[in-house]
Amino acid sequence: MAKRRRLIAPDTEALEQLEAGFAAKPSVSPFETKSTPPPIAQVAAEAASLGGMAAVTDRVALAQDQGDAARWRDAQEAGLVAQMLPLDQIDADFIRRDRMVEDEEAMAELLESLRVNGLRTPIEVTPEGDGFGLISGFRRLEAFRRLAGTDSRFAEIPAFVRNAGTGQGAYVSMVEENELRANLTPYERGRIAVLAAGQGVFPSTEAAVDVLFAAASKAKRSKVRSFAMVHESLGDLLQHPVALSEKAGLKLASAIRSGAQAVLRDALAGVGPLDAKAEWGVLEKAMTDSSDASQSKSRGGRPTEVLRLPKRSLKGGGEVWAEVASGELRLKIKGRDLTSADAEALVNQLCEQFE
């Protein structure tokens, strides 16, 4: 029978050493003598550390989201964010259009491109009442309206909404967009300047040309003014105005300045439907007849005596010249921007003097 071993209770010093050992984490390595905190304490510390890192990350993400939201609002206010707008809320006739003739072949290509690829460039509109007024993108809007009749995907169109108003900014945006995408014809440039001035958007046609075509050279703006004169003088009678080449339009403007407007209007008023080539033939003949009549008058008989009256200065700036010839009075006002309405009022006053 095995001999029982007698147990002896540890003394006080031994108990203190045992308690210190239990309070410390046992070392993983037998060579490591540095004590470490208990596992539960270490886990708690790591959780607290991760919680603090998460809080920092959340604050950074929140600040980034707030910055993105602010930039998005700024972009939306600047009209840089496209919105989907119902077609029936857009007024295509909000301002007078610069483009006069639509190329059906080009329209067919646009329709096919929209069916296959969708719209790549949104139109531009401005708020108007309960809807929107079209600034640029007339062809794209027209294409969507044609497609919407058979395909519900085109019931809405992407659009940049910008506060262009009804003033000069709206016309400038329209002209710039069309000049970049497809150059306007010389006649269309002159015509839109006249129409914008006629609506009171600009004080005169000259001012309209300077603003609408500010990026053009001085020589180009001069040509636009010449075509504006052609539109003012003959626009209601011309059947193919956009077919006028730059050379033809400048020749017409020169003839009008020389006093051939009445002859040209009579020639156009007395013809039926013509193609572009035949119409130009009528205009050329009228210019030739007017030039021959002017030369014959200057060569025949006694020289015309012209009496030049003293030059008069206007209070608001500008000067007036007057010449009196046989059965003719010529007035010239220089240094003042006169609208067509001002000119008409002046003519009416002269007429009243001779009634």
- Determine the pLDDT at residue 155: 92
Q: How many domains would you assign to the chain?
A: 2
Q: Are residue 203 and residue 174 in the same domain, yes or no?
A: no
The pair of structure tokens assigned to 293 is 């009549």
Q: Are residue 104 and residue 193 in the same domain, yes or no?
A: no
Q: Answer for the pair 92, 141: CB distance below 8 angstroms, yes or no.
A: yes
- Determine the pLDDT at residue 39: 64
How many Å apart are CA 175 and CA 193, to the nearest integer? 10
Q: Are residue 211 and residue 288 in the same domain, yes or no?
A: yes
In this structure, the dihedral spanned by the alpha carbons of residues 234, 239, 244 and 249, taken in order and rounded to 10 degrees, is: -10
Q: How far does the chain reach from its first CA to its final CA, in angstroms?
A: 160
How many Å apart are CA 318 and CA 314, to the nearest integer? 5
Neighbours of 112 (CB within 10 A): 11
Q: Answer for the pair 135, 162: CB distance below 8 angstroms, yes or no.
A: yes
Q: Which domain holds residue 168?
A: 68-183
User: Containing H/E element for 330?
Assistant: strand 328-334
Domain endpoint, select from 183, 215, 233: 183
- Determine the pLDDT at residue 26: 54
Neighbours of 33 (CB within 10 A): 7
The pair of structure tokens assigned to 46 is 């790591």
Domain endpoint, select from 141, 168, 183: 183
Q: Is the pTM of this model over 0.85?
A: no
pLDDT tens string for the chain (355 positions)? 556 666 666 666 665 665 566 555 555 555 555 555 566 666 666 666 655 555 556 666 666 676 666 676 666 665 567 789 999 999 887 766 655 566 677 788 888 888 888 888 888 888 888 888 887 778 888 899 999 989 888 999 998 887 765 556 666 666 666 554 556 788 888 888 887 777 677 788 888 888 888 878 888 889 989 999 898 888 888 888 888 999 999 999 998 888 888 889 888 887 888 888 999 999 999 898 877 666 555 454 444 556 677 777 777 777 877 777 666 777 778 767 777 777 777 877 877 777 6
Q: Answer for the pair 174, 168: CB distance below 8 angstroms, yes or no.
A: no
Residues 6+ apart with CB under 8 A from 305: 325, 326
Residues 6+ apart with CB under 8 A from 173: 124, 135, 136, 162, 164
CATH at residue 284: 1.10.10
CA distances from 193 to 169, 217, 340 (A): 13, 16, 13
Asked, for residue 338, whether it belongs to a domain, the answer is no
The pair phi, psi for residue 79, each rounded to 5°, is 75, 30
Q: Are residue 113 and residue 136 in the same domain, yes or no?
A: yes
Asked, for residue 23, whether it belongs to a domain, the answer is no
In this structure, the dihedral spanned by the alpha carbons of residues 247, 251, 252 and 254, taken in order and rounded to 10 degrees, is: 140
Q: What value does the CA radius of gyration of the chain take, rounded to a whole number of Å?
A: 42
